[in-house]
Amino acid sequence: MIISELIQVPEFTESKKHTEIYRYLSRVVGNELSKLTKSCYKPSFVLYHADLKKMTGITDDVIKEFRSKIDKKYRNGFQIFNDKYTLLIVIYMLRCAKEKRWELVKVLYMLLAIKFQSSLVYRAFPKYCNEEVWNIALDRVSARHLYRTEGGISNAVVYLTNVEFKKNKKILSKPVMTDDELVQGIVMSLRHRLAQSMRSFTIVYYNIEKDYKKGGVIDDEEKEESGARLIAEKITMIMCIYNTIDKTALRKSIVDSGIRKDLGISIITHISDPEHKEDVKFIILLLNRLYPLVDNMCIETRRNKVVRKVLQGGKVRDYVVKDEIVKMLMTLENKHQLKTVPEKQLVLFFTNYLTLYIRHRIC
pLDDT in tens, 337-363: 888 899 999 999 999 999 999 998 888
Same domain for 20 and 145?
yes
Domain contains 227: no
197, 218, 239: which is the final residue of a domain? Answer: 218
Is 237 within a domain?
A: no
Is the domain of 186 the same as that of 310?
Answer: no
DSSP annotation string for 282-331: HHHHHHHHHS-HHHHTTSHHHHHHHHHHHHTT-EETTEEHHHHHHHHHTT
270 with 327, same domain: the answer is yes
Domain assignment present for residue 346? The answer is yes
Same domain, 145 and 266: no
Residues 213 and 276 in one domain: no
What pLDDT, on a 0 to 100 scale, did the predictor assign at position 2?
42
pLDDT of residue 290: 85
Number of domains in the chain: 2
Asked whether residue 202 falls in the same domain as residue 292, the answer is: no
Kindly state whether residues 79 and 22 are assigned to the same domain: yes
Residue type, 293: L
pLDDT in tens, 154-174: 999 999 999 999 988 888 887
Tell me whether residue 238 is in a domain.
Answer: no
Per-residue confidence in pLDDT tens, the chain, 363 aa = 444 444 444 454 455 688 889 999 999 999 899 888 888 988 888 778 888 888 888 888 888 888 887 777 776 656 777 788 888 998 888 888 888 899 999 999 999 999 999 889 998 998 888 888 888 888 888 878 889 888 889 999 999 999 999 988 888 887 777 777 777 778 888 998 999 999 989 988 888 887 766 655 454 455 555 677 788 888 988 898 888 899 999 999 999 999 999 999 999 999 998 888 888 988 998 898 888 877 778 888 888 989 999 999 988 877 889 999 999 999 888 888 888 899 999 999 999 999 999 998 888
- CA-nearest of 162, 167, 160, 168 to 192 is 160
Contact 193, 159 (CB under 8 A): no
pLDDT for the residue numbered 78: 67
Both 191 and 258 in one domain: the answer is: no
Domain that holds residue 118: 3-218
Quick one: 25 and 124 in the same domain? yes
In this structure, the answer to whether residues 211 and 281 fall within a common structural domain is no
Co-location of 338 and 201 in the same domain: no
Asked if the structure places residue 201 within a domain, the reply is yes
Query: Does a structural domain hold residue 110?
Result: yes
Shared domain check, 255 and 296: yes
pLDDT at position 19 = 87
> Does 64 fall in a domain?
yes
Q: Of 199, 218, 237, which closes a domain?
A: 218
Please state, in angstroms and as integers, the Cα–Cα distance from residue 283 to each residue in 79, 130, 342, 351, following that order. 44, 28, 20, 9
Residue 232 belongs to a domain: no
